[in-house]
């Protein structure tokens, strides 16, 4: 019996996968518990429609991320910080501060998307990467001033 998985099932199949299974297992476990449906023309057409819809949404999100990347690449965030002897900065700039500053400028970015490789704790310009979408990374400049 061929079934189409409609939910992920560990070590068995992923959503959208078509797999040949034994009749009893397919009927009594997979279909009964809602993990899969029997492979028919209607269910196959439904699967193809869902995959097409998902692909369109993915393309739209990718285009939006590309546009946002172009906008973000020109952004310079300025932070006024307190310094001590020898222009040593007290503390450092956090991801939350960067997120809040971006939000003030109209960008909605999740904290998890902001990638700080080094602590920002010295005066001057620092590059910060923002992961907008897989393989689409914007780079903003953070400028620390007295």
Task: Give 11's pLDDT tier (boundaries 50, 70, 90).
Answer: confident
Mean pLDDT of the chain: 91
For residues 115 and 127, give the distance between their C-alpha atoms in angstroms, rounded to a whole number: 10
For residues 99 and 137, give the distance between their C-alpha atoms in angstroms, rounded to a whole number: 16
For residue 82, give the nearest of 15, 16, 146 by alpha carbon.
Answer: 146
* 21 contacts: CB under 8 Å, gap ≥ 6: 1, 2, 3, 30
Length of the chain measured in residues: 146
pLDDT tens readout for residues 74-131: 999 999 988 888 778 888 899 999 999 999 999 999 999 999 888 888 889 999 999 9
- pLDDT over 90 (residue 3): yes
pLDDT, residue 35, reads 93
The full set of domains in the chain, from first to last, is 2-62 (3.40.5.10), 67-145 (3.10.430.100)
**Number of Cβ within a 10 Å radius of residue 107:** 16
* Strand 36-38 with 2-5, pairing: antiparallel
């Amino acid at each position: 019996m061929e079934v189409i998985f409609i939910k992920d099932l560990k070590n068995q199949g992923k959503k959208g996968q078509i797999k040949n299974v034994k009749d009893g297992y397919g009927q009594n476990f997979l279909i009964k518990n809602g993990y899969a449906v029997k492979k028919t023309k209607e269910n196959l057409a439904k699967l193809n429609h869902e995959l097409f819809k998902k692909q369109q949404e993915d393309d739209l999100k990718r285009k939006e991320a590309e546009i946002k990347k172009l906008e973000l690449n020109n952004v310079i965030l300025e932070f006024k910080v307190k310094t001590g002897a020898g222009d040593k900065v007290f503390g450092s700039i956090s991801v939350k501060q960067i997120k809040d500053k971006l939000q003030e400028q109209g960008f909605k970015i999740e904290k998890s998307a902001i990638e700080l490789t080094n602590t920002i704790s010295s005066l001057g310009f620092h590059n910060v990467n923002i992961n907008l979408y897989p393989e689409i990374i914007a780079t903003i400049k953070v400028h620390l001033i007295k």
